[in-house]
């Protein structure tokens, strides 16, 4: 059983995004765009592009194209930082808010369906287990990065 846990953990994000992609398709958003918008909304406005890239798990240069597309759609604004003109801070436009509320509604409904059959206690325990697994993984990653390769 333990040998399948990693495969299940790896499969869940793909399944989750596939469900959301199908349900968000009527809004005319690609996965890249809705993921970027949603993370920016949850992260909060005025954050640098690099922070959003880290939150999504992509390299900053690959995010630039998506932000340009969202900017062209009138959903996002990039503004130069006061203290570093090379760095850009991100802001949602008023036009993005109704769209984000629709996205959020779809996400919440999908989450309820995905987590059906789990009690609040089950969810709390699952969250603790996932946090422990993540912590262990980060410790391994740090240890591996710090040790010289042979």
Question: Within the chain, how many helices (H) and strands (E) appear?
Answer: 6, 2
Q: Which domains does the chain have, with CATH numbers?
A: 2-116 (1.10.10.10)
Give percent above pLDDT 90 in the chain. Answer: 67
Q: pLDDT digits over 99-123, tens only? A: 999 999 999 999 999 999 999 999 9
* 91 close to 76: Cβ distance less than 8 angstroms: yes
Least confident of 4-13, 20-29, 58-67, 83-92: 83-92
Contacts of 148 (CB under 8 A, 6+ apart): none
Is the sign of the CA dihedral 126, 128, 130, 133 positive or negative? Answer: negative
């Amino acid at each position: 059983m333990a040998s399948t846990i990693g495969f299940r953990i790896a499969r869940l994000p793909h399944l989750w995004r596939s469900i959301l992609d199908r349900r968000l398709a009527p809004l005319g958003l690609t996965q890249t765009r809705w993921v970027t918008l949603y993370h920016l909304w949850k992260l909060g406005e005025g954050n640098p592009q690099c922070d959003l890239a880290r939150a999504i798990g992509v390299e900053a240069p690959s995010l630039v194209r998506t932000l340009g597309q969202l900017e062209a759609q009138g959903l996002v604004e990039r503004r130069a930082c006061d203290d570093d003109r090379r760095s850009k801070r991100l802001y949602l436009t008023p036009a993005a808010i109704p769209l984000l509320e629709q996205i959020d509604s779809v996400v919440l409904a999908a989450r309820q369906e995905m987590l059906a059959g789990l009690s609040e206690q089950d969810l709390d325990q699952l969250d603790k287990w996932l946090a422990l697994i993540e912590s262990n993984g980060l410790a391994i990653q740090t240890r591996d990065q710090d040790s010289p390769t042979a």
